[in-house]
A = this chain, B = another copy of it.
Amino acid sequence: MIVLKLGGSVITEKDREETLDGEALERAAAAVADCDEDLVVVHGGGSFGHPHAEEWGASTTDGVDDVAGITAIHTAMTTLNAFVLRDLHDEDVPAVPVHPFSAGHRDASGDLSLPSEQVETLVDEGFVPVLHGDLVAHAGKGATVLSGDEIVTALADSLDADRVGVCSTVPGVLDADGETVLAEISAFEDVADALGGSDATDVSGGMAGKVRALLALGSPASVFSLEDLSAFLDGEEPGTTIHGDS
């Protein structure tokens, strides 16, 4: 089984609020349609989710408890999800929506519970579940953001995915020179310099956080751009492939 992340910046126009990158989304849908393996798709929020999250001060740690804010953020994400489903259906992909707000929650420590048996059953029945960055109920905080990256790592573990793909706006993880794509990473120290030092952190889904999360997975994960999506789904390892030690 493959868990595929379609970056929000890949399928939307990042600088124009609630605007699809229709051409990119169609290319992604066509690539997915050619894939013969069991597949779960997760897409990010891009210009649909992020402006609303920012407006309401919502992040993975800062909650929103006004139902108007929750409605605005969640509706923007389900709207983008509906566009993704439409383009997948146009390519005859048996895609079905799975909204994380309906399934998951965080406890008071911020630990995420995201049930996956419904996703597994859908895949077993021949469907392609399509999840998305969203809000989830968070004990003591109302609701907080659940990023697409968090969903990918949670599902890759619980579904015991064979491979993880992160389709991004960059061709892979770049070396310190900023030009060469690293073919493989097996430890954070390999790329600490390139990513801003071993203390590098980012809460907004930047590359240092992605690499750390993907290193912790039990399955290999590739980071690549849309040009390489078909190659990845064909079984190749384009861009940067991250092999954790777990």
Q: A: which residues have CB within 8 A of B?
A: 65, 67-68, 70-71, 74, 85, 89, 94-107, 113, 115, 117-118, 121-122, 124-127, 136-143
Known A96-B70, A113-B117: A65·B102 in contact at CB below 8 Å: no
Query: Do residues B67 and A94 form an inter-chain contact, with CB atoms below 8 A?
Result: yes
Interchain CB contact (< 8 A) of A89 among B67, B97, B113: B67
A124 to chain B, nearest CB (A): 7
CB distance from A116 to the nearest CB of B (A): 10
| A1 → chain B closest CB, angstroms | 15
Q: Give every chain B residue within 8 A of A136 (Cβ-Cβ).
A: 118
Top 6 A-B pairs, shortest CB-CB distance: A102-B102, A121-B137, A67-B94, A105-B121, A105-B118, A103-B103
Contact B125 A142 (CB under 8 A): yes
